[in-house]
């Protein structure tokens, strides 16, 4: 088992943002996570990636506990994420935004040795995402779509990426970029067994890429199954699909 | 490499200055070089890493008083006093770095300010030990107070500080620092150990400042708590902002301008800080790239106005 979330709960003041959430992912798997706004999807991503520590429950990556660990330590073990509202290092160039991931992974002592490898990977990703023309611009100067692509690409710089949590990677993205994103995901899944937890409302995309989908409602996992099973479930239609 | 060669040439050229310049100019430049080190230190910490400390002058004081007191009371040789100064500054920088680790900008500024004023006041209050405002007499480094050899020493210190900042800025560590300044949460999320980087930068810059402060003590010969005065950090911040905050060259551009301006204004009383504050406000509103960037923009706007 790559990721195991067991009975995780998180409360913000009077609000139970996640309640008793359990979830398991295998290497190379693509798991969808859907649910209405405010259901706790982003909170779950934050718990898995160490931004918050859960109030109760445990999270394991390859059998080892990661709940309560710092995000940088979790990232080091191959678990990365993107943010729903794209976050980049605005004053670093697009290329530097990519390089930082690999240097953070290998550490400063090994950075000089990794340099050629890092530059090669960055050049490759910049080309794949067609960001090579803007590679030297500060990230804040990029368009929204380019920024989202760059944020996603930065994770693939990690040499030991095992699980990539993507928080609404397609929201507000031009369809041309969507295809590029899907190619990237599939490439890294096929060639190095990267698994994904994808939070998204894009049902058509979810149907194409996800092995299984989990539905989250009011902080709890309500149902898990193939997208066909889920869209057929009347309770889900009532609680969620009916609303959009 | 070209930049290093150019810098080395500039340093060598400056090193010949004592042959031609008068002592008061040499003194002004010596103090300017001292400020280049302090401003470089603050620029690494605040300008590049986003840790808006208000205690840079305090580490200069810690370095200065460490060597001053150990040489005065323990009669150790000056070089041992300076070594002790660096060690104590590094240690204090490390401890302060750990204490303010989780603080966001404004809280960090307030906490470092409180630390700075505590040290400043203690230096005056502990007059039994430090002789307070009367001043602690510290043996000059070269026997006499003739500025020429001190000029060379501070030139080397400024050059080393600049070289350090330049190599850091180009290295992956520099990217980590700028990443932390831009978005600390994302920096953690991509795997940067932000705790280690921040503590390292705090410690390094404190040691660097302490070293400059120690040499300063053996130049001024009478050491008073003034060295830790809050106006010093105001001057440092002005220098960095005038030079272009976050850029390696900022102290090299800002320190001579501000130091010269300060010398010119000194005959009119305490107006210098008010004028510096005004400059900082104008620059922050128009161009965070500093005076060079502001000038460049003004030129291109004038040119545009001409063509239309
Ligand atoms: N840091 C926080 N502090 C307080 N409340 C929060 C915090 N983060 C999320 N919440 C609340 O938790 C609930 C779940 O939010 P979120 O996980 O962002 O939902 P989703 O991503 O499914 O739209 C929301 O009601 C949100 O307001
Ligand atoms: Mg969300």
Domain that holds residue B153: 2-229
- Atom of ligand 1 at shortest range from CA of A39: 22
Contact of A217 with A35, CB cutoff 8 Å: yes
**Residues of B in Cβ contact (< 8 Å) with A105:** 191
Cα A37 to ligand 1 centre (Å): 9
Counting residues of chain B whose pLDDT is more than 70, the rounded percentage is 100
**Which of A130-139, B3-12, B226-235, B285-294 is least confident?**
B285-294
Per-chain mean pLDDT for chain B: 91
Q: Does any domain span residue B131?
A: yes
Separation of alpha carbons B99 and B110, rounded Å: 13
Query: Which pLDDT does position A241 carry in this prediction?
Result: 59
Query: Which pLDDT does position A201 carry in this prediction?
Result: 87
**Which of A215-224, A234-243, B250-259 is least confident?**
A234-243
Query: pLDDT band at residue B302, thresholds of 50, 70 and 90?
Result: confident
Cα A171 to ligand 2 centre (Å): 11
Cα A48 to ligand 1 centre (Å): 15
pLDDT digits (tens, 9 = 90+) for A192-219: 999 999 999 888 899 889 989 999 999 8
Chain B's closest residue to A140, CA to CA, is B182
Query: Which pLDDT does position A188 carry in this prediction?
Result: 94
State mean pLDDT over B165-187: 96
- Give me the CATH code for the A1-78+161-170+196-244 domain, please: 3.40.50.300
Residue A48 in contact with ligand 1 by CB distance below 6 A: no
Separation of alpha carbons B29 and B256, rounded Å: 8
**Which of A198-207, A229-238, B115-124, B271-280 is least confident?**
A229-238
Query: pLDDT band at residue B102, thresholds of 50, 70 and 90?
Result: confident
Q: Does any domain span residue B132?
A: yes
- Taking an 8 Å cut-off on Cβ atoms, the answer to whether B175 and A92 are in contact is yes
- Taking an 8 Å cut-off on Cβ atoms, the answer to whether B183 and A71 are in contact is no
State mean pLDDT over B39-67: 96
Q: Does any domain span residue B182?
A: yes
The residue ranking higher by pLDDT, A71 or A239, is A71
Query: Which pLDDT does position B270 carry in this prediction?
Result: 74
Contact of B70 with B81, CB cutoff 8 Å: yes
Q: Determine the distance in angstroms separating the CA of B197 from the nearest CA of chain A, rounded to an integer.
A: 10
Chain A's closest residue to B175, CA to CA, is A100
Contacts of residue A92, defined as CB under 8 A and 6 or more positions apart, other chains included, come to A100, A138, A139, B175, B178, B179, B182
State mean pLDDT over A83-97: 95
Contacts of residue B229, defined as CB under 8 A and 6 or more positions apart, other chains included, come to B57, B120
**Residues of A in Cβ contact (< 8 Å) with B181:** 91
Residue A39 in contact with ligand 1 by CB distance below 6 A: yes
Q: Does any domain span residue B259?
A: no
Q: Determine the distance in angstroms separating the CA of B168 from the nearest CA of chain A, rounded to an integer.
A: 11
pLDDT digits (tens, 9 = 90+) for A107-138: 888 888 999 999 999 999 999 999 999 999 99
Q: Does any domain span residue B270?
A: no
Query: Which pLDDT does position A121 carry in this prediction?
Result: 94
The residue ranking higher by pLDDT, A95 or B295, is A95
Query: Which pLDDT does position A229 carry in this prediction?
Result: 81
Query: Which pLDDT does position A203 carry in this prediction?
Result: 86
Q: What is the ipTM of this complex?
A: 0.92
Q: Does any domain span residue B302?
A: no
Length of chain B: 308
Query: Residue A149, SS3?
Result: helix
- Measure the CA angle with vertex B296, ends B291 and B297; round to 5°: 100
Has residue B162 got a pLDDT over 70?
Answer: yes
Query: Which pLDDT does position A15 carry in this prediction?
Result: 92
Chain B's closest residue to A111, CA to CA, is B172
Per-chain mean pLDDT for chain A: 91
Query: pLDDT band at residue A9, thresholds of 50, 70 and 90?
Result: very high
Of the listed ligands, the closest to the CA of A41 is 1
Has residue B171 got a pLDDT over 60?
Answer: yes
**Whole-angstrom distance between the N-terminal and C-terminal Cα of chain B?**
42
Query: Residue A167, SS3?
Result: strand
Query: pLDDT band at residue B225, thresholds of 50, 70 and 90?
Result: very high
Question: Residue of the nearest CA to atom 3 in ligand 1?
Answer: A12
Mutation choice for B interface testing from A89, A97, A107, A155 by most B CBs within 10 A: A89
Question: Residue of the nearest CA to atom 4 in ligand 1?
Answer: A12
Q: Does any domain span residue B263?
A: no
Mutation choice for A interface testing from B171, B174, B186, B187 by most A CBs within 10 A: B186
**Which of B170-184, B230-244, B290-304 is least confident?**
B290-304
State mean pLDDT over B261-285: 81
Query: Which pLDDT does position B278 carry in this prediction?
Result: 85
Cβ neighbour number for residue A86 with a 10 Å cutoff: 23
Has residue A244 got a pLDDT over 70?
Answer: no
Query: Which pLDDT does position B143 carry in this prediction?
Result: 81
**Number of DSSP helices (H) and strands (E) in chain B, helices first:** 14, 2
Count the domains in chain B: 1
Has residue A174 got a pLDDT over 90?
Answer: no
Residue A17 in contact with ligand 1 by CB distance below 6 A: yes
Residue with tokens 């295998």: A26
Counting residues of chain A whose pLDDT is more than 70, the rounded percentage is 96
Q: Does any domain span residue B34?
A: yes
């Amino acid at each position: 088992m790559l990721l195991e979330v067991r009975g995780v709960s998180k409360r913000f003041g009077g609000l139970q943002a996640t309640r008793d959430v359990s979830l398991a992912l295998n290497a190379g798997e693509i798991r969808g996570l859907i649910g209405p706004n405010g259901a706790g999807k982003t909170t779950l991503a934050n718990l898995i990636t160490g931004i918050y520590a859960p109030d109760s429950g445990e999270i394991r990556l390859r059998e080892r506990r990661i709940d309560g660990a710092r995000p940088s330590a979790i990232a080091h073990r191959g678990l990365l994420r993107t943010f729903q509202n794209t976050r980049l290092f605005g004053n670093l160039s697009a290329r530097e935004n990519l390089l930082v991931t690999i240097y953070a992974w290998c550490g400063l002592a090994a950075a000089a040795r990794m340099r050629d490898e890092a530059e090669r990977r960055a050049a490759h990703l910049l080309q794949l995402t067609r960001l090579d023309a803007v590679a030297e611009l500060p990230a804040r100067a990029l368009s929204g779509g380019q920024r989202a692509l760059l944020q996603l690409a930065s994770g693939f710089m990690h040499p030991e990426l095992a699980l990539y949590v993507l928080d609404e990677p397609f929201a507000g993205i031009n369809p041309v970029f969507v295809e590029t994103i899907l190619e990237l995901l599939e490439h890294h899944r096929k060639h190095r067994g990267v698994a994904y937890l994808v939070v998204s409302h894009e049902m058509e995309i979810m149907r194409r890429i996800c092995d299984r989908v989990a539905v989250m409602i009011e902080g709890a996992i309500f149902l898990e199954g193939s997208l066909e099973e889920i869209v057929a479930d009347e309770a889900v239609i009532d609680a969620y699909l009916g609303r959009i | 490499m070209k930049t290093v060669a150019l810098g080395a040439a500039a340093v060598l050229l400056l090193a010949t200055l004592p042959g031609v310049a008068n002592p008061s100019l040499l003194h002004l430049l010596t103090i300017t070089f001292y400020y280049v080190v302090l401003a470089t230190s603050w620029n690494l910490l605040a300008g590049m890493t986003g840790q808006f400390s208000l205690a840079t002058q305090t580490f200069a004081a810690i370095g200065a008083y460490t060597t001053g007191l150990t040489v005065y009371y323990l009669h150790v040789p000056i070089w041992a006093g300076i070594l002790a100064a660096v060690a104590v500054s590094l240690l204090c920088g490390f401890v302060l770095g750990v204490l303010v680790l989780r603080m966001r900008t404004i809280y960090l500024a307030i906490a470092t300010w409180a630390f700075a004023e505590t040290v400043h006041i203690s230096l005056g209050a502990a007059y039994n030990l430090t002789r307070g405002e009367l001043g602690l007499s510290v043996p000059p480094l070269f026997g006499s107070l003739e500025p020429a050899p001190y000029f060379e020493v501070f030139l080397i210190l400024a050059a080393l500080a600049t070289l350090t900042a330049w190599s850091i800025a180009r290295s992956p560590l520099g990217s980590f620092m700028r990443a932390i300044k831009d978005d600390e949460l994302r920096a953690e999320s991509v795997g940067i150990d932000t705790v280690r980087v921040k503590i390292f930068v705090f410690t390094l810059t404190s040691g660097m400042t302490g070293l400059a402060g120690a040499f300063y003590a053996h130049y001024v010969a009478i050491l008073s708590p003034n060295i830790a005065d809050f106006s010093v950090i105001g001057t440092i911040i002005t220098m960095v902002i005038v030079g272009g905050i976050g850029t390696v060259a900022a102290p090299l551009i800002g320190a001579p301008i501000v130091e010269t301006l300060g010398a010119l204004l000194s005959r009119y009383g305490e107006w210098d800080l008010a004028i510096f504050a005004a400059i900082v406000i104008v620059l922050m509103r128009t161009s965070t790239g500093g005076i060079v960037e502001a000038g460049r923009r003004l030129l291109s706007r004038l040119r545009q106005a001409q063509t239309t």
